[in-house]
Amino acid sequence: MVARIMVTNGPGGHPSWKHAEVTANKIVQVDQNASEEKQAAAAKLRRELEEALTQHHEDVKQWELSHIEEHGIDRCEHALAVENEHVDAVMETLANLTSGTILEDHFSKPEVLRIIREEILLPEFATQLHIHRSELADANRGHPCAEAYHTRHHGEKA
């Protein structure tokens, strides 16, 4: 039940590489008793995945920012819905990175893929959407959409 902290000073939310590090570490976990070969393969995959995920998280960020630019403060009224294509792209990257490796079997299991998709990628991408909308609401305090957003997601802002 260890929760991790991400802190970024200044506006704009967290940089994509920070999200990528979190996501990669959640996806690639290896038992301490695993063989050295598996430990090494996991470490290599984590590095490669983190690098690839930086672009995926950046894509999500730019996608959300483009919608904020299009809709303005009304974006706060939209559902915090992650696009399937963003998740699918990561799943494809993961399949490519693990193909032919000692980790391929593990990352082919339906239950493992379900957890990666539903319990890791969806919430981590949704976190990005939320942060950018929260900043949007912060910048538009007093607007009904901003106040409603803060009430729903933050409680009243001080």
Partner 1 sequence: MATTGICNSWKVEAMFAAHCFGAIVSISGTTTNTAFTITGLASTAGIAVGMAATGTGVAAGAVVASIDSATQVTLSKASTASATVTVTFTGDAFKILLIKVGPGRTFDNTQTNVGTPGTGSPTTSNVGTDEVASGGGYTSGGVALVNTSPSLPGTPSTTATVSFANPSWTSATISTTAAIIYNTASRLGAATTAAITGRSVSVHDFGGTQTVTAGTLTLVMPTNDGTNAIIRIA
Residues that bind partner 1 (CB under 8 A): 1-11, 13-14, 22, 26, 29, 111, 115, 119-120, 123-124, 126-127, 130-131, 134-135, 138-139, 152-158
- Rank residues 10 and 100 by Cβ distance to partner 1 and give the closer one: 10
Would you say 98 or 128 has its CB closer to partner 1? 128
Closer to partner 1 by Cβ: residue 67 or 150: 150
Spatial CB neighbours of 15, under 8 Å, sequence gap ≥ 6: 8
Distance CA(73)–CA(143), nearest Å, equals 8
Shortest spacing between CB 155 and partner 1, in angstroms: 5
The smaller minimum CB distance to partner 1, of residues 47 and 154, is found at 154
* Nearest C-alpha neighbor of 50 from the set 104, 112, 106, 97: 97
Question: By C-alpha distance, which of 155, 13, 130 is closest to 79?
Answer: 130
Give the integer Cα–Cα distance in Å for 157 and 30: 40
Q: What is the DSSP letter of 32?
A: T
Tell the smallest beta-carbon distance from residue 55 to partner 1 (Å): 20
| Nearest distance, CB of residue 48 and partner 1, angstroms | 20
